[in-house]
Amino acid sequence: MAEKVYRASTTAPVNIAVVKYGHRPQPHLQLPGALLHSLSVTLSQADLRTLTTATCSASYPASEGDTLLLNGEPSDVSGARTQACFRELRACRAALESADPSLPKLSTMPLRIVSENNFPTAAGLASSAAGFAALVRAIADLYELPASPAELSLIARQGSGSACRSLFGGYVAWRMGSAADGSDSMAEQVAEAAHWPDIRALILVVSAAKKGVSSTAGMQQTVATSGLFQERIARVVPRNMAAMEKAIRERDFAAFAEVTMRDSNSFHATCADTYPPIFYMNDVSRAAIRAVEQINAAAGRTVAAYTFDAGPNAVIYYLEKDTEAVVGTFYHVLGGAGLKPTLSLDEGVVGLLKGGVS
């Protein structure tokens, strides 16, 4: 008799931080570090999402071990981050199985994960966030774990720090927690998407190429060598967190935008202050910053805010009512729907994606 294949599928959204974390002192836990929190907006899955299917079966050869097919290509799962997720989820399943011996022993079977991102992977668009959130939830569903998003966020952040925020919708904070070892550091929702539903994100896919330095490696270098980074954790991030939570509470876009742009600038300043320096932004990224400044100057108020993660791609936040001014201007500046930029730049924008908070 053929052995049964157990299966679960899920999707997870991307989140783009408006106050960025920047400290991973314990690589295993992916913690944001002392006094350091972060805050993000979860984007609509209609636009950017990871789709992950997890299966396991006693018929899968043990010699092949656990496997991950990412965007159609075999992907290495031997890294500590992925292993930590598998180990924790298996331990949760094994606990259920020993409490109820009638349950099938899924925890002993090899896992096969198939995952697809419908947006560029490892290009600064938070694929690790959506990717590990989906991976953890797909396996938790497969194992029928009674885990809440908060509990799953504890596991997902071990895959990628930012993944713990993708388990929630709306406006999400990742807090340090109070345990000395940081073991209770997890994500929580600051406000539902419905609290401030008219935020929109325009994503300028400047480059779909994989970044030269992975987020984790880059951050470790920054923590080790940047003096400016110490200033950022001591003063800049706590101030930005407080201002950002207030802006969201009061639905104050001008304040939201200013903190978003200042925090992105501060983060990239610490990258430039890393030795040797890390440059995630390129000429097109800087042109996008100037375009936002022009849009705001022309409107006579703040209608757009830029932010860049560890990559050259820009995320522009704006309000639904200002779509014309923001998207219209970007299409114009970047040469219209053909997306051939009219700016004389080395590298062109390869695509525009639009999303809302969800």
Instruction: State yes or no: residue 125 binds ligand ADP (CB under 6 A).
Output: yes
Distance in Å, CB of 278 to ligand ADP, minimum: 12
Query: CB–CB of 330/291 below 8 Å?
Result: yes
Q: What angle do CA 101, 106, 108 make, to 5 degrees?
A: 95
Among 50, 166, 264, 358, contact with ligand ADP (rule: CB under 6 A): 50
Identify any residues that bridge with 356 across adjacent strands, giving them in sequence order. Answer: 200
Q: Find the binder of ligand ADP among 10, 38, 40, 127 (CB under 6 A).
A: 127
- Residue 92 or residue 126: which is nearer to Co ion going by CB? 126
Measured over the CA atoms of residue 24, residue 239, residue 227 and residue 18, the dihedral's sign is positive
- Give how many residues touch ligand ADP by CB under 6 A: 21
Indicate whether 70 belongs to the interface with ligand ADP (CB under 6 A). Answer: yes
The entry of ligand ADP, Co ion, none that residue 302 binds, CB within 5 to 8 Å by partner kind: none
The answer for residues whose C-beta is within 8 angstroms of residue 78's C-beta and 6 or more apart is none
Is residue 215 within the footprint of ligand ADP (CB under 6 A)? yes
131 binds ligand ADP (CB under 6 A): yes
> Using the rule CB under 6 A, which residue among 30, 38, 107, 121 binds ligand ADP?
121
Taking the least distance from each CB to Co ion, the nearer of 153 and 329 is 153
265: tokens are 């600038």
Cis peptide before 276 (omega within 30 of 0): yes
31, 123, 176, 241: which one binds ligand ADP (CB under 6 A): 123
Q: Contact 185/177 with Cβ under 8 angstroms?
A: yes
Beta carbon of residue 45, minimum distance to ligand ADP (angstroms, whole number): 13
Binding residues for Co ion (CB under 5 A): 128, 215
Nearest-angstrom CA–CA distance, 342 and 282: 16
**Cβ(121)–Cβ(71) under 8 Å?**
yes
Please answer whether residues 173 and 297 qualify as being in contact, where contact means their C-beta atoms are separated by less than 8 angstroms. no
Separation in Å, CA 105 to CA 102, 133, 146, 292: 9, 24, 17, 55
Q: If contact means CB under 5 to 8 A according to the sort of partner, which of ligand ADP, Co ion, none does residue 55 touch?
A: none
Give the x/- contact pattern for ligand ADP in 141-160, rule: CB under 6 A. -------------------x
Helix ranges (DSSP H) in the chain? 80-99, 127-142, 149-159, 215-225, 227-231, 237-249, 253-272, 283-299, 323-333
Among ligand ADP, Co ion, none, the one that 38 touches (CB under a kind-dependent 5 to 8 A) is none
- Choose which of 38, 42, 117, 222 interacts with ligand ADP (CB under 6 A): 117
Contact stretch for ligand ADP (CB under 6 A) within 230-238, 303-311, 322-330, 340-348 = 303-311
| Rounded CA Rg of the chain | 21
Distance of CA 118 to the CA centre of its chain: 14
Question: Which amino acid type is present at position 28?
Answer: H
Q: How far apart are CB 242 and Co ion at their closest, in Å?
A: 25
Q: Which of 33, 149, 311, 355 binds ligand ADP (CB under 6 A)?
A: 311
Q: Which stretch binds ligand ADP (CB under 6 A): 1-9, 121-129, 220-228, 271-279?
A: 121-129
Find the binder of ligand ADP among 115, 158, 207, 226 (CB under 6 A): 115
CA distance 134 to 25: 25
Nearer to ligand ADP by Cβ, of 59 and 214: the residue is 214
Asked whether 34 and 252 are in contact (CB, 8 A), the reply is: no
Site of interaction with ligand ADP (CB under 6 A): 50, 70, 115, 117, 121-128, 131-132, 135, 160, 214-215, 309-311
